[in-house]
Amino acid sequence: MDDAKRLASALNALVNLRQFSNSKARAAARQDPAVDWPATKLHNAEFNPEVDGFESFIMDDGSRCVWMPGRFRYAAQAQQ
Over the stretch 9-57, which tens digit does the pLDDT of each residue have?
A: 999 999 988 899 998 999 999 999 999 999 999 999 999 888 888 999 9
pLDDT at residue 65 above 90?
yes
Q: What pLDDT does residue 58 have?
A: 97
- Let me know: does 39 contact 58? Beta carbons within 8 Å: yes
**Beta strands of 1-80 (E only): which ranges?**
57-58, 64-68, 73-77
Q: What pLDDT does residue 79 have?
A: 84
